[in-house]
Amino acid sequence: MTMPAGKYYVGDLCYVMHECWDEVCGLFFKGRSDHGCNEGEFVLKDGRRFVSINTKYGDGSYHDQYGNEYGVDAGLIGCILINDINFNADGNGTTGGNVVNFERSFDSAGGRNEGRDWDGNIHIGHLVIETDPVYECEE
């Protein structure tokens, strides 16, 4: 999945695509019954492109290698160009994720389509978002 350079929202897409969520879900589940159907690159009717990748354990709070937080309520993390977000639509805002400037085109990978041994890391360009965190217990 290669996306063009630009400024992107990276996070749970449900926070920035309220007005078109029905269409998004229609793309995800159109005639497909597998659990990885909402992973990949998608194009809305109006031409806007976005990437969606499932988290390993669904909803929660996850972090990238820089310590940035990603709140998840739809079980996925993805990206969409900032200019492709309708900020006039009710509920759309970037507070659940982060705005990232990608200087050049970038690839994304991860998710359940990676197979049973997937480590839970979502790769979006240079970002690595860990969705299967290992917590150390204090003794």
Is pLDDT at 39 greater than 90 in this prediction?
Answer: no
Place 135 in a pLDDT band, splitting at 50, 70 and 90: low
pLDDT value for 121:
94
* Whole-number pLDDT of residue 33: 54
Indicate whether this model's pTM tops 0.85: yes
Q: What is the pLDDT of residues 98-114, one digit of tens each?
A: 999 999 999 999 887 66
Which candidate, 61, 52, 68, places its Cα nearest to that of 133? Answer: 61
Task: Note the pLDDT of residue 31.
Answer: 57
- What secondary structure does DSSP assign to the chain, as a single string? -EE-SEEEEEE-GGGT-GGGHHHHHHHHHTT--STTTT-EEEE-TTS-EEEEEE-SSSSEEEEETT--EEEESSSEEEEEEGGGS-TTSTT--STTSEEEEESS-EEEE-SGGG-TT--SEEEETTEEEESS--PPPP-
pLDDT digits (tens, 9 = 90+) for 41-94: 999 999 999 999 999 988 999 999 999 999 999 999 999 999 999 999 999 999
When pLDDT is averaged across residues 110-120 and rounded to a whole number, the result is: 77
End-to-end CA distance of the chain: 43
